[in-house]
Amino acid sequence: MSVEAHEIIPMPQPEPAGREESIPEAARRKLSSPWASGLVILITILWTIPTFGLLVTSLRPSSQAQNSGWWTIFTDPTMTLSNYSEVITGGSVIPNGIEPYFWNSFAIAIPAAIFPLVLASMAAYAIAWIPFKGSTFVFFTIFALQVIPLQMSLLPLLTMFNKGWSLGPIPIFPDLNKPGSEQSIFVGTYIPLWVAHTMFALPLAIFLLHNFVSQLPRELFEAARVDGASHFLIFRKLVLPLTVPAIASFAIFQFLWVWNDLLVALTFAGGTPDVAPITAYLASIKGSYGSQLHLVTAGAFVAIIVPLIVFFSLQRFFVRGLLAGSVKG
Amino acid sequence: MTQRVHYDDVSLVYPGSTKPAVSHLELDIAEGEFLVLVGPSGCGKSTSLRMLAGLEPISTGKIFIGDRDVTNVPAKDRDIAMVFQNYALYPHMSVAENMAFALKIQKVAKDEINRRVKDAAALLDLTDYLERKPKALSGGQRQRVAMGRAIVREPEVFLMDEPLSNLDAKLRVQTRTQIAALQRRLGTTTLYVTHDQVEAMTMGDRVAVLKDGILQQCASPRELYDNPANAFVGTFIGSPSMNIIPSLITEGGVDMNGFLVPIERDILGKASGHEVIVGVRPEDLILSAEGAEMTVTLVEELGADTYVYGTYPSPEGPVDLVARGQGLAAPKIGTNVKVNPQRTYVFDATGDQKRLS
């Protein structure tokens, strides 16, 4: 391939080491040209305008928000926070506030981000570094599970929670109904949501973390073994600290995914205010008070505060060069 | 504390391979001895060391540390310390934490850990760097941290897998002497792997030469140089390496293109064919008026010595020879000179090229 390139373009032969570095350099040079910068700014503005419009709408008094577009704010700058207080605690228009749903979302999303991470990081280490028969098979099976759309498993999973599962006469998962009632003991708890989100997240989490963990230098693990460390100690003292960038990025994605999820939440929690998340609340006020745009937008902004905080507070974990200095350099 | 190590007929065949990576290794390392495993790449020297560490499986045979059979003991329970070629420092821990890691696992008391880490740091000149992370250290310092991590353990055996190969030439020579001196001082049994015969000769109490997974010879450096067991050891040890001259046996010795090199009859009687390999160290092959003729291809004048490189037509095709010029005017390239072997080794021409003389 390089021979062809030389035939077409008579160039001095690039040095192998220099060539690898020149690709990002070239990309950076191209992307930092004034034209590219201008284009990026333009796109950013275009993409931000609708969000900005929603923000403005959420801050306008109800009568104005109903009768004029948000851009009239520039000529008639009346703003109020009453929409937010109405949405958060409930008020004259919406009887129930967003607040309990807000805490529900936390109660769902935090464990649903932690469980798969704990399981997946352990599985990733085991598959990558503990030699056992069939580890490749296990890895590829997990990898293959990613292609199954989660919609396929929603109903079987729901049946499992409600009626148990059995293969003919052999029970695989017990029927966990409350004695003498048709209701599963899981109803009104977060457990089905945690389990479902964990199950749906695991294949991708294991795959991503495995790829990261398997890139750690082999000698590091060998040194630890010679130093007397057990697998669990190696996992805790080496793998976890060195995998922080991957764990943090997956934690962000998983948390945001669960926070923004509506489908799984509706399937497993329904609309019960005890356990339903903020997305279910937004969907319901959108249905009931769709014309009250200023209230719906206020609710939406309450809901996106958390993803923003999560993203900005965890992004510092996207650090590079954490391995620098370990093996020769 | 320190222990002898014994490889008892150890072999390793990797699954899917027919050729053993290590074949019937029989090796004894005495208490406190510094033994160097040396050989070309792929000869099984690192594998042998890693088998002792517990990082490679063993197909057949047994390994003993002291009287303990460690063949099936996992690496973490073997009480050995290892220095890796690329140091394998824990990147997220400071130098002090790196050194203390193994001791913490052993649940050594905190002030004892501190004392040992401080001592090792003083010994290795790392006291000022204890709080630094490995990435803020130079190559030589990292190498010393890796050494320190092994020293604080006070293990039964040290294993070192080419610990100097990532250092620059000057630092390597310096560190070489430091490691050898350190080992003498600590008196811990040490198995050291290198591909560099100079390192092997200068550091080891004894040197074991491996080739293709088979132990060729294990002896003191002097003994290896003076009495190589076969042609491979002869050429591998020594620089420039020994001249290997295939020659036909004739009456009273061997024939080097008309020049008779006298060799005793009973030595030649042991040869398996009509041909033997004559080994001559460069310093024993001198330019003289009488001798076998070779064509000069290169002359190296090093001040004290002059090495004359040339090609010599042997019965097996042309071979390259290195001769020592003794303060004479150096010959010109392309001319023919006569070389005269002063001292010879005779090796069998077939099989393992065993030494006959």
Rounded to an integer, what distance in angstroms lies between the CA atom of residue B244 and that of residue A271? Answer: 89
Rounded to an integer, what distance in angstroms lies between the CA atom of residue B50 and that of residue B56? Answer: 6
Rounded to an integer, what distance in angstroms lies between the CA atom of residue A298 and that of residue A84? Answer: 6
Q: How many CB atoms lie within 10 A of CB A161?
A: 19
pLDDT of residue B327: 63
Question: What would the two tokens of residue A295 be?
Answer: 């209230």
Instruction: Kindly indicate the confidence band of residue A23, based on its pLDDT and cuts at 50, 70 and 90.
Output: low
Q: How many CB atoms lie within 10 A of CB A71?
A: 10
pLDDT of residue B244: 93
- A240 touching B, CB under 8 A? no
Contacts of residue A223 in chain B, CB cutoff 8 Å?
Answer: 82, 84, 88-90, 149
Rounded to an integer, what distance in angstroms lies between the CA atom of residue A127 and that of residue A134? Answer: 9
- Nearest CB neighbour to B137, from listed A217, A224, A325: A325
- A228 touching B, CB under 8 A? yes
Instruction: Kindly indicate the confidence band of residue A60, based on its pLDDT and cuts at 50, 70 and 90.
Output: confident
Do A328 and B101 count as a contact with CB atoms less than 8 A apart? no
- Nearest CB neighbour to B76, from listed A225, A241, A326: A225
Do B76 and A227 count as a contact with CB atoms less than 8 A apart? yes
Question: What would the two tokens of residue A116 be?
Answer: 């798969």
Mutate to test the interface with A, among B14, B50, B51, B76 (most CBs of A within 10 A): B76
Helix or strand or coil: residue A89?
Answer: helix
Do A222 and B53 count as a contact with CB atoms less than 8 A apart? yes
- Nearest CB neighbour to A326, from listed B89, B102, B166: B89
Instruction: Kindly indicate the confidence band of residue A181, based on its pLDDT and cuts at 50, 70 and 90.
Output: low
Report the Cα B309 to chain-centroid distance in Å. Answer: 25
Do A223 and B77 count as a contact with CB atoms less than 8 A apart? no
Q: Which residues of B309-340 are buried (b: 16+ CB within 10 A; e: fewer)?
A: bbebebeeeebebbbbbeeeebbeeeeebebb
Please, are residues B161 and B54 in contact by the beta-carbon 8 Å criterion?
no
Q: Tell which residue, B151, B232, B171, B165, has the closest CA to residue B194.
A: B165
Please, are residues B249 and B332 in contact by the beta-carbon 8 Å criterion?
no
The lowest-confidence range among A102-111, A126-135, A272-281, B336-345 is A272-281
Q: What beta strand segments (E) does B227-316 contain?
A: 243-250, 253-256, 259-262, 275-280, 285-301, 306-314
Residues A70/A75/A76/A78 CA torsion (nearest 10 deg): 70
- A237 touching B, CB under 8 A? yes
Helix or strand or coil: residue B247?
Answer: strand
Rounded to an integer, what distance in angstroms lies between the CA atom of residue B105 and that of residue B101? Answer: 6
Please, are residues B205 and B178 in contact by the beta-carbon 8 Å criterion?
no
Q: How many CB atoms lie within 10 A of CB A208?
A: 17
pLDDT of residue A180: 67
- B269 touching A, CB under 8 A? no
Q: Give the CA distances from residue A222 to residues A10, A66, A297, B151, in Å, rounded to whole numbers and listed in that order.
A: 48, 68, 55, 17
Do B54 and A226 count as a contact with CB atoms less than 8 A apart? yes
- A230 touching B, CB under 8 A? yes
Please, are residues B242 and B324 in contact by the beta-carbon 8 Å criterion?
no
- A73 touching B, CB under 8 A? no
Which pLDDT tens digit goes with each residue over B193-236? 999 999 999 999 999 999 999 999 999 999 999 999 999 999 99
User: 241-270 in A: which are within 8 Å (CB) of B?
Assistant: 241-242
Contacts of residue A322 in chain B, CB cutoff 8 Å?
Answer: 91-92
Task: Give the gap in angstroms from C-alpha B159 to the nearest C-alpha of chain A.
Answer: 10
Question: What would the two tokens of residue B292 be?
Answer: 């076998």
Report the Cα B305 to chain-centroid distance in Å. Answer: 25
User: What ipTM was assigned to the predicted interfaces of this complex?
Assistant: 0.87
Rounded to an integer, what distance in angstroms lies between the CA atom of residue B200 and that of residue B215? Answer: 15
**Interface size, chain A vs chain B, as Cβ–Cβ contacts under 8 Å:** 96
Contacts of residue B166 in chain A, CB cutoff 8 Å?
Answer: 328
Do A238 and B90 count as a contact with CB atoms less than 8 A apart? yes
Q: How many CB atoms lie within 10 A of CB B151?
A: 24
Do B82 and A226 count as a contact with CB atoms less than 8 A apart? yes
Instruction: Kindly indicate the confidence band of residue A178, based on its pLDDT and cuts at 50, 70 and 90.
Output: low
Say what the pTM is. 0.81
User: A99-326, which class in CATH?
Assistant: mainly alpha
pLDDT of residue B74: 92
Position of tokens 């934690």?
Answer: A251
Rounded to an integer, what distance in angstroms lies between the CA atom of residue A58 and that of residue B21? Answer: 73
Instruction: Kindly indicate the confidence band of residue A19, based on its pLDDT and cuts at 50, 70 and 90.
Output: very low
How far is the first Cα of chain B from the last one, in angstroms, to the nearest whole number? 42
Average pLDDT on A72-86 reads 82
Q: Work out the percent of chain A whose per-residue pLDDT is above 90.
A: 31
Q: Tell which residue, B121, B207, B191, B110, has the closest CA to residue B156.
A: B191
- A15 touching B, CB under 8 A? no
Residues 6+ apart with CB under 8 A from B165: B85, B172, B194, B195, B196
- A324 touching B, CB under 8 A? yes
Instruction: Kindly indicate the confidence band of residue A63, based on its pLDDT and cuts at 50, 70 and 90.
Output: confident
Q: How many CB atoms lie within 10 A of CB A313?
A: 10
- B136 touching A, CB under 8 A? yes
Position of tokens 């420092």?
Answer: B89
**Taking 50 as the threshold, does the pLDDT of residue B182 lie above it?**
yes
Residues 6+ apart with CB under 8 A from B108: B116
The dihedral through the CA atoms of A68, A71, A76, A81 has a sign that is positive
- B84 touching A, CB under 8 A? yes
Q: Tell which residue, B281, B267, B258, B275, has the closest CA to residue B344.
A: B281
Q: Tell which residue, B67, B76, B29, has the closest CA to residue B48.
A: B29
Helix or strand or coil: residue B84?
Answer: coil
**Taking 80 as the threshold, does the pLDDT of residue A183 lie above it?**
no
pLDDT of residue B73: 93
Rounded to an integer, what distance in angstroms lies between the CA atom of residue B175 and that of residue B160? Answer: 13
**Taking 60 as the threshold, does the pLDDT of residue A99 lie above it?**
yes
Which pLDDT tens digit goes with each residue over A33-49? 888 889 999 999 999 99
pLDDT of residue A310: 85
Do B76 and A326 count as a contact with CB atoms less than 8 A apart? no
**Taking 50 as the threshold, does the pLDDT of residue A12 lie above it?**
no
Average pLDDT on B65-91 reads 93
Q: Is A110 exposed, middle or buried (0-12, 13-18, 19+ CB in 10 A)?
A: middle
Please, are residues B92 and A242 in contact by the beta-carbon 8 Å criterion?
yes
Q: Tell me which DSSP letter residue A238 carries.
A: I
Question: What would the two tokens of residue B64 be?
Answer: 């003993």
The dihedral through the CA atoms of B184, B189, B194, B200 has a sign that is positive
Task: Give the gap in angstroms from C-alpha B127 to the nearest C-alpha of chain A.
Answer: 19
Rounded to an integer, what distance in angstroms lies between the CA atom of residue B207 and that of residue B36? Answer: 5
**Taking 60 as the threshold, does the pLDDT of residue A14 lie above it?**
no
Q: According to CATH, where is 1.10.3720.10 located in chain A?
A: 99-326
Which pLDDT tens digit goes with each residue over B242-263? 999 999 998 888 988 888 998 8
Rounded to an integer, what distance in angstroms lies between the CA atom of residue B204 and that of residue A33? Answer: 61
Average pLDDT, chain A: 82
* Minimum Cα–Cα distance from A228: chain B residue: B76
Average pLDDT on B336-349 reads 90
Average pLDDT on B56-83 reads 93
Instruction: Kindly indicate the confidence band of residue B121, based on its pLDDT and cuts at 50, 70 and 90.
Output: very high
Mutate to test the interface with A, among B70, B101, B133 (most CBs of A within 10 A): B101
Question: What would the two tokens of residue A208 be?
Answer: 């991503």
Q: Work out the percent of chain B whose per-residue pLDDT is above 90.
A: 68
Task: Give the gap in angstroms from C-alpha A166 to the nearest C-alpha of chain B.
Answer: 42
Rounded to an integer, what distance in angstroms lies between the CA atom of residue B219 and that of residue A269? Answer: 77
Task: Give the gap in angstroms from C-alpha B185 to the nearest C-alpha of chain A.
Answer: 22
- Nearest CB neighbour to A219, from listed B84, B102, B135: B84
Average pLDDT, chain B: 91
